[in-house]
Amino acid sequence: MRANYQVNSGVRFQMLSDDQLEELFESVLHVLEYTGLEVHHEESLQILKDAGAWVDGKRVRLPSYMVRRALELAPRSFTIYARDGNPEHDIHIGPGRSHFGPGPTCPNFIDVETMERRPYVKSDVPLVAKVVDALPNIDFCESLGTVDDVHHDLGATYEFAGMFPNTSKPIVAWSYDKYDSEEIHKIAVAEAGGQEAFERRPNYIHYCEPLSPLVSTEDALDKLIFAANHRVPLIFTPCPIAGGTAPVTAAGIIIQAAAESWMGLTIAQTLQPGLPFFMGGVLSVMDMSNMILAYGAPELSLFMAGITELAHYVGLPLWQTGGCTDSKALDEQAAIEGSLSAYFSALTGGDLCHDVGYTESAMTGSVFQLAMMDEAIGYARRITRGIEVNEDTLAVDVIHNVGPNGHYLREQHTRNHYKTEFFYPNLCDRRNYEEWEMMGKQTMSDRVVSRVQDILATHEPSPVKPETEKVIEEVLASAEKRVK
């Protein structure tokens, strides 16, 4: 028996001390109580007022006890379920677990045949979902684009209808307003077997965004209230830009973003105590030469790590960001920026890391970037899994048995562990020069492209129930009527 023995089973990463986190936490409460936010939503104003908020016109200040209570109510651990019951596709949210997936709504897409950038269209949706379904290190699905070739108000509905049958990994669904939120929900509930069954085993997450600085908008809150009333796990994620729509300093942007998220948290927990809630979001810098929000900046990783630590300090899961790039091509820049942010995100244990596969600063979605990042995430996951120390892994006996001048190739110990101890690359090449030459001197991007094409040609996601297929058709037909 070991006594008084501490185990670190993964790589430990902590940036901020408890004192610093407490200071950040108190600062968020201060902003919410003294500065307050604008809330552009009548019903929410009433909900907040009834719950004890100070409301002056649209300006809402939250006494800190309200926020503490909301934080208390929100769960740290819960499960989002695969629609088909495949336990491998369930997502268990909880301490020390990070998950990855693409981002939403880019206007453009890298065509999988021509490799050219063009507007994102409806037929891209099932294709992205299939690739997500097949990639081992991608855990949830978003579509990487805004469908351009349907009625513009129906983009989100068509997107969900296209993703849902093509992956059983949980989907993170955005929407324009409560109407498409409702359409999406109908499809998910049909597959779950009714509202009550859905509440027990939610199979998707709803995503909405406040406006930085310090505004909760009408559409965002319409969607939030829809999700809360139907007990759909919720992401409320701002997208502040340091030096533009948020303070230029890391600590400053983190507390502003948290304040924006927690206004949503407070409304959601008042309406639906215990609703699974992720705080957000995308925190990065304004590039002061090119005037863009930089998705490949090191500060993105740093800000995201800081807000992840704050979220975990208060017992909330976080909507992380990584695997994205400002590059326009599948090139070295894309690999560096994407891999480093994915790795950093994995280190933080940030709960759902999105925007994997974003290129050109969120303007263009790419399944190639996504597939390349799948490899980087696998690599990162092997590192963060860490070193296991026990009698077996210490291998003292094995060392003794093999002794000087021996080898380990035939050892049972090797046979027992080589599959789990080592990471096996899908894309990185470790052949010797001659073999590499013989295989056509393929580069990383060549291999990424063939992997994606191979998945598209061979992967069969598990189908939805026949009833759900019918519901999807009905939902799309009635959505078309809605916008006529």
Cα 426 to its chain centre, rounded Å, is 22
Distance CA 221, CA 104 (A): 19
φ and ψ at residue 296, rounded to 5 degrees = -115, 10
78 is in the binding site of which of ligand B1M, other proteins, none (Cβ under 5 to 8 A by kind)? Answer: none
Q: Considering the complex, state which of residue 107 and residue 252 has its C-beta at the smaller distance from other proteins.
A: 107
Q: Considering the complex, state which of residue 206 and residue 451 has its C-beta at the smaller distance from ligand B1M.
A: 206
Cβ pair 322, 342 in contact under 8 A? yes
Which of 104, 155, 276, 323 contacts other proteins by CB under 8 A?
155
Candidate segments 43-51, 81-89, 149-157, 468-476, binder of other proteins by CB under 8 A: 149-157
Q: Is 257 in the site for other proteins (CB under 8 A)?
A: no
101 is in the binding site of which of ligand B1M, other proteins, none (Cβ under 5 to 8 A by kind)? Answer: none
Distance CA 365, CA 359 (A): 6
104 is in the binding site of which of other proteins, ligand B1M, none (Cβ under 5 to 8 A by kind)? Answer: ligand B1M
Q: Before 296, cis peptide (omega within 30)?
A: no
Amino acid identity, residue 257? A
Cβ pair 55, 45 in contact under 8 A? yes
What would the x/- binding string for other proteins be over residues 19 to 58, using CB under 8 A?
A: ----------------------------------------
Interaction site with ligand B1M (CB under 6 A): 104-107, 146, 174, 209, 211-212, 238-239, 241, 245, 291-293, 361-363
Distance CA 459, CA 217 (A): 41
Which of 74, 253, 255, 286 contacts other proteins by CB under 8 A?
286
Cβ pair 91, 132 in contact under 8 A? no
Cβ pair 269, 315 in contact under 8 A? no
Q: How far is the CB of 44 from other proteins (least distance, A)?
A: 17
Q: Single out the residue of 30, 65, 59, 54 nearest to residue 252, CA to CA.
A: 30
Q: Considering the complex, state which of residue 90 and residue 218 has its C-beta at the smaller distance from other proteins.
A: 218
Q: Is 8 helix (H, G, I), strand (E, B) or coil?
A: coil
Helix 332-348 vs helix 367-385: crossing angle, to nearest 10 = 40
Q: Of residues 195-254, which lie at the interface with other proteins (CB under 8 A)?
A: 211, 217, 241, 243-245
174 is in the binding site of which of ligand B1M, other proteins, none (Cβ under 5 to 8 A by kind)? Answer: ligand B1M
Q: How far is the CB of 367 from ligand B1M (least distance, A)?
A: 15
- Specify the DSSP class assigned to residue 290: T
153 is in the binding site of which of ligand B1M, other proteins, none (Cβ under 5 to 8 A by kind)? Answer: other proteins
